[in-house]
A and B are shown apart, each in its own frame.
Chain A
Amino acid sequence: MPELFSEEWIREYIKFLNESSEYQEAARDWEGDFLFVVEPDEELERPMYVYLDLHHGKARNGYVVNDPSEVNPAFEFRGKYSNWKKLIYGEIDPIKGLVSGKFKLKGNMAKVMRYARAAKILVEVAQKIETRFPEK
């Protein structure tokens, strides 16, 4: 079982995402790369960073980032580790999570608003992966 945001987890995520016809339909015209940031809290010591390049309904590339200044993504999505866990367990809706401030998004918000369905599918695909969560 891959650990959340490990290289193995990202490979599996990209595989599932690229197999999703739903995502391909919803993000057909999407262009924009993301940095996902897991902020430490009482359950996690150090932050985690994952880069994902999403282009026209596919994930072109994705990897673990050690130093976030090495990448310059169009979007950044960040939240505390405990909230990421809730997101992956389906306990937080991604849109509600953003509206209620559990997650923060940087980038062209207006563009994201037009791809709300794709954003939901991105999370649903992550929920399909049997994930082991790192413990402190």
Chain B
Amino acid sequence: MWRFSSPQIIFGRDSVEHVETFRGRRCLIVTDEVIKDLGYVDSISKYLENHETVAIRADEPCTDDALELAEKMRYIQPEIIIALGGGSVIDAAKAGRILMEVDIPPEEITPFTDLEEYGFKGKTVLVAIPTTSGTGSEVTWAIVLKDEREKRKVIMANVKTMPEIAIIDPFFTYSMPENLVIWSGFDALTHAIEAFLSSFSNPFSDALASNSASMIFSNFIRSHRGEKDARENMHISATMAGMAFSNSQVGIVHALAHATGASLNIPHGLAVSAFLYPVLEFYSERGVKRLNELCLKIGHNVLQEVERLESVFEIRKIIDGSEIKMHQDEIVKKAMEDSCIVTAPFVPAEDDIAEIIERMVERCMQEES
């Protein structure tokens, strides 16, 4: 027995107009300072009468930020929470919505926690409007926040955290900076591939994962060039990949990216882009059959395509391999403690993780020389 969960999805150009249906209800817009400065909040608030805005810090929010946001939500008592931003904003809003009703440490939001037992009633409607095309947070029940004390990423997940509505309007992605287009694109691609390879994969997630991988391979470079139709396709692909992995989970690439991101403050999208090829190469050598199945299904050699994108976007030149090498033991330990590790095609040992890191570092160093 397994299940497939998804929010209602409103998508396409001008889909943001859907917020007009919330007119008259008490709304809280959760965003960050950068999005606010870009004027995107106005594109939402103009449809609303009764609303307040809370802007969280623009870099990766931590568990304390989620608690602070929950406190504000308790005070404002919104009927509808509109999370407008990248994955971090949406994740913070997802956590805040739970913590405003339930007095538990954020880390206790796990897939096994019965939030209703703690008194969660789902008093608010959560609407997620992503402004980047990568995390898929708008359609998942996962939350990633930083634990500043332990310098690790806390992966929280519970089906109750999933937004009720996701609005996928490409308008917000047209002005994404170049780096964000690349890193978020790799994040989406990794979600699609890892969802397909996951030990929890299923026919529903497979359909979304393979389709989104195929669309990303066809649109990524054109989207980077700024072609609007490609950027719209990437936006939809990222949400599809999010739906796929939310229902089948991710694997080693994400475990390593969470660990590296927490230890060295490397942006998540950059970390996944660096680890995707070495992990797939490792799977290929270990005879992971699902990788061949994915290639056959989408008509692309996945490994070659990933290497091509890695090369086009010069990923290996950006990563400081020596710094990762220096923190290898710490990264291995954190990756092995990451819950994503158990949904990989096979559960790796510490030596396997160390070997993948060494491969990645070697590739970066070859690029440097």
Within the complex, which residue of B200, B336, B339 is in contact with A26, where a contact is CB–CB below 8 Å?
A: B336
If over half of B's interface residues share one DSSP class (helix, strand or loop), that class is named, otherwise mixed; here it is loop
Which residues from A are CB-within-8-Å of B110? 109-110, 112-113
Are B342 and A105 touching (Cβ within 8 A)?
Answer: no
Chain B 42-53 interface 0/1 with A at a Cβ cutoff of 8 Å (1 = within): 000000000000
Q: Is A19 an interface residue (CB 8 A)?
A: no
Are A116 and B107 touching (Cβ within 8 A)?
Answer: no
Which residues from B are CB-within-8-Å of A113? 107, 110, 155, 339
Are A117 and B342 touching (Cβ within 8 A)?
Answer: yes
Within the complex, which residue of B105, B200, B349 is in contact with A110, where a contact is CB–CB below 8 Å?
A: B105
Q: Is B1 an interface residue (CB 8 A)?
A: yes
Q: Is B292 an interface residue (CB 8 A)?
A: no
Shortest distance from the beta carbon of A113 to any chain B beta carbon, whole Å: 5
Q: Is B341 an interface residue (CB 8 A)?
A: yes
Bound CA span A113–B341, Å: 11
Bound CA span A120–B113, Å: 18
If over half of A's interface residues share one DSSP class (helix, strand or loop), that class is named, otherwise mixed; here it is helix
Chain B 1-28 interface 0/1 with A at a Cβ cutoff of 8 Å (1 = within): 1110000000000000000000000000
Which residues from B are CB-within-8-Å of A22? 349
Q: Is B337 an interface residue (CB 8 A)?
A: yes
Bound CA span A96–B157, Å: 13
Bound CA span A38–B287, Å: 38
Bound CA span A71–B126, Å: 42
Bound CA span A22–B347, Å: 11
Which residues from B are CB-within-8-Å of A98? 111-112
Which residues from B are CB-within-8-Å of A115? 337
Q: A109-B108, A120-B347 are in contact. Are A93 and B200 (CB under 8 A)?
A: yes
Which residues from B are CB-within-8-Å of A96? 2, 200
Q: Is B350 an interface residue (CB 8 A)?
A: yes
Are B2 and A116 touching (Cβ within 8 A)?
Answer: no
Q: Is A102 an interface residue (CB 8 A)?
A: yes
Bound CA span A109–B3, Å: 21
Shortest distance from the beta carbon of B39 to any chain A beta carbon, whole Å: 39
Which residues from B are CB-within-8-Å of A117? 336, 341-342, 347
Are A109 and B112 touching (Cβ within 8 A)?
Answer: yes
Q: Is A25 an interface residue (CB 8 A)?
A: yes
Which residues from B are CB-within-8-Å of A114? 337, 339
Within the complex, which residue of B112, B199, B336, B350 is in contact with A99, where a contact is CB–CB below 8 Å?
A: B112
Bound CA span A119–B343, Å: 13
Shortest distance from the beta carbon of A135 to any chain B beta carbon, whole Å: 24
Are B337 and A100 touching (Cβ within 8 A)?
Answer: no
Query: In the complex, how many residues of chain A place their beta carbon closer than 8 angstroms to a beta carbon of chain B?
Result: 23
Are A116 and B199 touching (Cβ within 8 A)?
Answer: no
Chain B's interface size range is 20 to 34
Q: Is A95 an interface residue (CB 8 A)?
A: yes
Give A94's nearest chain B residue, CB to CB.
Answer: B342
Are B105 and A95 touching (Cβ within 8 A)?
Answer: no
Bound CA span A112–B199, Å: 19
Chain A positions 80-134 with a Cβ under 8 Å from a chain B Cβ: 93, 95-96, 98-100, 102, 104-105, 108-110, 112-117, 119-120
Bound CA span A16–B350, Å: 21
Shortest distance from the beta carbon of B110 to any chain A beta carbon, whole Å: 4
Which residues from A are CB-within-8-Å of B336? 26, 117
Bound CA span A119–B342, Å: 10
Which residues from B are CB-within-8-Å of A116? 339, 341-342
Are A102 and B1 touching (Cβ within 8 A)?
Answer: yes
Most B-side CB within 10 Å, residue of A98, A104, A105, A109: A109
Which residues from A are CB-within-8-Å of B339? 113-114, 116
Bound CA span A26–B350, Å: 9
Chain B 327-347 interface 0/1 with A at a Cβ cutoff of 8 Å (1 = within): 000000000110101110001
Shortest distance from the beta carbon of A82 to any chain B beta carbon, whole Å: 12
Bound CA span A93–B111, Å: 14
Give A106's nearest chain B residue, CB to CB.
Answer: B112
Chain B 345-356 interface 0/1 with A at a Cβ cutoff of 8 Å (1 = within): 001011000000
Seed contacts A102-B1, A110-B108; 12 additional CB < 8 Å A-B pairs: A25-B349, A25-B350, A96-B2, A100-B3, A108-B108, A110-B110, A110-B154, A112-B112, A113-B110, A114-B337, A114-B339, A117-B336
**B-binding residues in A (CB < 8 A):** 22, 25-26, 93, 95-96, 98-100, 102, 104-105, 108-110, 112-117, 119-120
